[in-house]
Amino acid sequence: MEMDGIRSAERPARVGRRGRRPWRLAVATVLASTLLFTAACTGDGDKASWEGGGSPESGTNSQSAAPDPTLSTVAVTSPAADAKSVELWSEVKFTSEDAQNTEVTVTNAKGDEVKGTVDKDANLWRPAEGLAWNTKYTVNVSTPAADGKTNTATSSFTTMKEPSKLVRVSSFLADGQKVGVGMPLIMKFGRAVPEKYRGEVERRMVVTATPAQEGTWRWISATEVHYRPKVYWKANSKVFYAVNLKGVKLGDGWYGRSNLTVDLNIGREMIMTVSNKTKKMTVKQDGKVIKTIPVSLGKSSTPSSSGTMVVMEKAAHTVFDTTDEDPVNGYKTPIDWAQRITYSGQFIHAAPWSEGVQGRRNVSHGCVNVSEALGEWLFNRTLMGDVITVSGTEEKLKNGNGWTNWNMSWEEYKKGSYLN
């Protein structure tokens, strides 16, 4: 504890009269400084002799020796000493009379320090990721004292054994992929996550974009959660997400199986806009129109959906087979340059049979028909996650019929998070 600084005595005023000797003034100044120093350094019970203190026998000034500095008391309060079956995300709680100067380290059985953060306002240490199953950890809490000594508390605990009830967690996307600016991040769970645990799950799934971009998770169902930024991803940005769910409670005695990380690249911005009124698709790349394509949309009995969708998958050559759903009126047709945009089976694809009416009339079963040549041109330029907006048709896109993350406002989208 630092002692307040003692003000120096003010410089004495010059003597105006001749003949007064300056050494008298110097002696007075030294005496005043001595008295100030004595008063500042004596305790309440040790008065200076000129205040009536001192030894009753000798009558001299007798100051008590300064007591040893009091060490700050520290202790580990949780987990309890030698606790067993501690959960992997358990916080370490401690007490300290000087929390701001308290250091906390946690080491594993090999003596390696575990990464974590200390909240000195709450007296907590939190692990950066889930600890290992069935492993002994040692906590060391220390606080320095004024005289260079250190007060230390040490405690150990052992984490729980790996349970049999583990939930698989998977990412739809993988490391190194390049995707469009509308691509949502998609996480899936092997078992339904009860609502009371979803907020904690979100906290363990951290998204970092470079440059920084605001975004949020939204639960699509009890087994699927998506993430999107407030506006489309910035072109050519980087996205990294760490999903630390190993050992996280997922309800009814189930725990997350593992952690995972994904590193993505966002490509150039490509936006496709389709108007039923003009029967044309406008293709913009990085804000500039690069192509206008005649289209044929769904006829009135099988209309295309109006709304904002993204490219979900691509196939240069495939077969559309609806005979299982409709044995009487179903069809089986080879298709080129197919790009899925809904779960219900709406695609952008080449349709050479409708080239004569593309740009003038709707004849499809709900898909966006383009010519063979322009279908190939478009297919070779799009990425999964590129955005397509269709307007002016008889049917509105239903949320959930595909990756419809952009078919709602930001305010509506945020309502699907358990942290907002």
User: Are the beta carbons of 367 and 304 closer than 8 angstroms?
Assistant: yes
**CATH value of 270-396 in 3.50.50.60, 1.20.1250.20, 2.40.440.10, 3.30.2270.10:** 2.40.440.10
pLDDT confidence bin for 313, thresholds 50/70/90: very high
Distance in angstroms (rounded) separating the CA atoms of residues 151 and 184? 51
Residues 6+ apart with CB under 8 A from 54: 47, 48, 60, 61, 62
Measured between its terminal Cα atoms, the distance across the chain in Å is 44
Q: How far is CA 11 from CA 32, 69, 245, in A?
A: 12, 36, 70
Question: Which ranges in the chain are annotated with CATH 2.40.440.10?
Answer: 270-396
Residues 212-254 pLDDT 10s: 999 999 999 999 999 999 999 999 999 999 999 999 999 999 9
Residues 143-151 have a mean pLDDT of 79
Q: Tell me if the bond preceding 229 is cis, omega within 30° of 0.
A: no
Residues 151-179 pLDDT 10s: 899 999 999 999 999 999 999 999 999 99
Cα angle 164, 244, 176; round to 5: 115
Distance in angstroms (rounded) separating the CA atoms of residues 361 and 298? 9
Question: Which ranges in the chain are annotated with CATH 2.60.40.3780?
Answer: 74-159
CA dihedral 225, 227, 230, 235 (to 10 degrees): -150
**CATH architecture assigned to 74-159:** Sandwich (2.60)
Nearest CA to 143 out of 81, 100, 91, 106 is that of 100
- pLDDT for 98: 87
Residues 6+ apart with CB under 8 A from 87: 159, 160, 247, 249
Nearest CA to 138 out of 58, 83, 60 is that of 83
User: Are the beta carbons of 269 and 228 closer than 8 angstroms?
Assistant: no
Which stretches does DSSP call E strand in 26-174?
74-78, 83-86, 92-96, 103-107, 116-119, 124-127, 136-144, 150-159, 166-167, 169-171
Residues 43-83 pLDDT 10s: 444 443 333 444 444 444 445 554 554 555 889 999 999 99
Nearest CA to 215 out of 35, 378, 413 is that of 413
Residues 333-370 pLDDT 10s: 999 999 999 999 999 999 999 999 999 999 999 999 99
Residues 127-135 have a mean pLDDT of 95
pLDDT confidence bin for 283, thresholds 50/70/90: very high
- pLDDT for 343: 97
- pLDDT for 311: 98
Distance in angstroms (rounded) separating the CA atoms of residues 236 and 180? 9
SS3 content of the chain, % helix, strand, coil (to 5): 10, 40, 50
Q: Mapping DSSP to helix (H, G, I), strand (E, B) and coil, where does residue 37 land?
A: helix
Q: Which of 6-15, 205-214, 278-287 has the lowest mean pLDDT?
A: 6-15
Question: Which ranges in the chain are annotated with CATH 2.60.40.3710?
Answer: 166-266
Q: Mapping DSSP to helix (H, G, I), strand (E, B) and coil, where does residue 65 land?
A: coil
Distance in angstroms (rounded) separating the CA atoms of residues 99 and 121? 7
Residue 129 pLDDT exceeds 70: yes
> Is domain 166-266 classified as CATH 3.40.50.450?
no
| pTM metric for this prediction | 0.78
Nearest CA to 244 out of 345, 131, 85, 348 is that of 131
Q: Active-site positions?
A: 349, 367
Extract the tokens encoding 237.
Answer: 């940005």
